[in-house]
Structure 1
């Protein structure tokens, strides 16, 4: 037997069976009867956890000093040393609130009725069921910070006294550094949810002669979605360091005083950061199924039966991402100074050389926002018809499956910048002073350089989309050799 005839007969048989069951309820009690029933249920279980904060800190330091004096036949030597150091560490952790609020509902309604008379039996039955479920979740984000500091200082002084004169030597050094980092995670929100709706109905009548009509229809829809929002991520780090050094030597005799001195300073810093922007999306799906059928007969050999169905589904996932940005910056500077001098009762002579240098590099980049809305839809339609007068048979069937796909999108581009710099300076100062007066001579030299490149891309957008027939996509085409 033709497959479409079988399907039509099957649909008609189901419709007839449901109708007979509904009519039998009415016949079991009175000539006319009706029965209704309904029920519902709901469930909810919210939960919330408060924010958390934690901080830890530790410090330590130490100092040391010593003095040594040596006396001999040639004179006395005294050496003094001092040192100190310390450190500091800290840690901080904080989290936001966490909340969960699951809930569910279910509802069902059933109605049936029947009527019996001397020449006809009528009946109908309806059922409607629906439900939903939700489980929104919110996590308030978290942040972690750390900090570390170190410092140290040392000094040394030696004084030697003899019959010829006094010699003094001094040295000192200092160093300090500080490093800090932080990482932050934005709030996360997810709200998965789903629902369904289903209905069925059947109605018809039959006469004493066997003639009658029965029709049925049913449909169901299922929906699901899970909107999500993520507040992004941030990360930063910084490091600073500074140091100084000083050295001086002095010799005093009957001829005069000689002095030589050297000092240096250095400082540097490095900073970097990364930011991942907010991300939002709302993936969703919908599935719908509708079916119908009928059966009609004149009580003899003639009858007509038919069925139809339509199943469709759609998937979509709109999203938006704010992009990524970051930077790295570095700076450093140094200074040195060297001087020599001689002084006695006739006058003084001195020379000082100072050098300075600075350097700066910086780079920053940003990626623009990305937005898209991909979607896919598919629909399948079927229809069958079967008729006979007892002798001849007529049947017809049709099926078509079509779909649609689209992906509108946009990208806002990116930007990249840089800032580079360098500078140097040198100064030489010479001074001579005697009973005739004072003569000072100064020379200086400076150099500077800077480069500032920048790149910008404006982005792009598009919307590829189209319809397709599944039968054409799956058909095989052969080429004659």
Structure 2
């Protein structure tokens, strides 16, 4: 019985040990996957918008007075004054639309396997995202004007036993300014995309050998095309004034009359249009890294490691800029006229004098279309490796960089022209009428000078570019 129990106990122990060993040698594995996706959008549209305001003011004053002294002399005075002003402002905005959108997706997975003293683990992760936000802005128009006018009149008459004397004076002024600004439609379509991929792996064995590897790759792309339909602006300014003075004296000997008129006028105008723009900036970045390491403890502590990385950047912005045209004119004029007439028993004497001055300056300038395609790129490569076994060591490293750029461009014909004119003149006329007849004398003078500066550029083109390339290698050995 004792022998039987001993055999049974030994068999049971062996069976239990074998079961435990069998369970230990049975491989185990684990896996896990996950993914996430999300997106968002928010389109917005806004119809056109209009704003405006208008103001108007008017005023007038009339006044009269009369005075008679003890001698019977009478003085009468009358005056009238009027003024007015008007202004307006308007703003119109075209339709506005915005359509932002974004998307994000992630995926990840992990797995592990264990068998005794050996095991391995793997993991990966992938992330991608996209975003865009197109914007469209309808044209914007701004208009405004300001007008003002004023007039004054005044007259005085004095009557006595010997006759009468009267004087009169009137002035008038007016001004008008205006402007318009028109901005063309603007479209912008920015967009970007991101991608990131990462992987890792580790392995260990019963012999004491460990391996680890990892890699990652990242890329980014972005662009933002822009179109602009140009701009147009105008501004005007006009001013004028006039002044009249007259006097009349009548007595027993006759009548004397004098009058004078002075008028002034100025006008200024300027306009600008063009600047159509189309540009498509783009950029991309790419980066890749990798690393590996091995450790073997059973071979006198042998170790090795290596890493590498590559980076590339590219950017460009082809564009087209429409030429701009500017034109303007400024003119000023002044005229003066004086007349005197004297009549008595012997006859009539009349004298008239006119004088005027005028200046005018005008210009026009134009730049041709400008087109270019600038771009630049950069690459950077790096690698490192090292190994050791006992007292022996070795390492290698390499780096290389390269930079390039270019900017081809072309400019269309350009030019500028101007004209400056100065002019003046006088006219005098005299007439004498008596019992002998009528005698007249008239004289006219005129002066004018013109200057026309200008230049023309028959376009221009160029292609500046360059390249920079560097490389460095280093090796170290210790035995």
* TM bin (shorter chain): 0.7 to 0.9
CA deviation profile, 1:305-337 (whole Å, cap 9, x unmatched)? 977653322122334444555444210112211
Higher relative contact order structure (alpha carbons within 8 Å, sequence separation ≥ 6): 1
Residues 220-235 of structure 1 mapped to structure 2, 5 A cutoff:
220-231=218-229, 233-235=231-233
CA deviation profile, 1:257-277 (whole Å, cap 9, x unmatched)? 222111122111122345572
Greater C-alpha Rg: 2
CA distance in 1 between partners of 2:291 and 2:424 (Å) = 92
Q: Which runs of 5+ in 1 are unaligned?
A: 1-26, 116-120, 473-481
Alpha-carbon distance change, 66 to 201 in structure 1, aligned in 2, over 3 angstroms = closer
2:19 corresponds to: none
* C-alpha displacement of 1:140: 3.4
Question: Higher strand share goes to which structure?
Answer: 2
- In the superposition, the TM-score normalised over structure 2's length comes to 0.75
Please state if 1:70 is matched with 2:67: yes
1:161 corresponds to: 159
Match for residue 95 of structure 1 among 78, 87, 93: 93
DSSP 3-state at the match of 2:253: coil
Residues 292-303 of structure 1 mapped to structure 2, 5 A cutoff:
none
Comparing 122-131 with 186-195, greater Cα deviation is found at 122-131
Residues 278-357 of structure 1 mapped to structure 2, 5 A cutoff:
278-290=276-288, 309-322=309-322, 325-344=325-344, 347-357=347-357
DSSP 3-state at the match of 2:353: strand
CA deviation profile, 1:433-472 (whole Å, cap 9, x unmatched)? 4566544433222222211111223453322222222447
1:45 corresponds to: 42
Alpha-carbon distance change, 386 to 427 in structure 1, aligned in 2, over 3 angstroms = closer
CA distance in 1 between partners of 2:387 and 2:451 (Å) = 87
* C-alpha displacement of 1:63: 1.4
Comparing 360-369 with 75-84, greater Cα deviation is found at 360-369
Query: What value does the CA root-mean-square deviation take over the aligned residues?
Result: 4.3
CA distance in 1 between partners of 2:80 and 2:432 (Å) = 37
CA distance in 2 between partners of 1:87 and 1:99 (Å) = 39
CA distance in 1 between partners of 2:82 and 2:389 (Å) = 113
Q: Does the 8 Å contact 1:141/1:188 carry over to 2? A: yes
CA distance in 1 between partners of 2:265 and 2:175 (Å) = 10
* C-alpha displacement of 1:105: 1.6
Q: Does the 8 Å contact 2:34/2:107 carry over to 1? A: yes
Q: Does the 8 Å contact 2:425/2:444 carry over to 1? A: yes
Q: Does the 8 Å contact 1:110/1:128 carry over to 2? A: yes
Residues 74-85 of structure 1 mapped to structure 2, 5 A cutoff:
74-85=72-83
Q: Which runs of 5+ in 2 are unaligned?
A: 1-26, 114-118, 473-479
1:407 corresponds to: 407
CA deviation profile, 1:214-265 (whole Å, cap 9, x unmatched)? 9987533211223334555554432211111111222223333222111122
Q: Does the 8 Å contact 1:403/1:470 carry over to 2? A: no
Match for residue 61 of structure 1 among 40, 58, 76: 58
* C-alpha displacement of 1:138: 3.2
Match for residue 173 of structure 1 among 171, 192, 216: 171
Q: Does the 8 Å contact 2:303/2:388 carry over to 1? A: yes
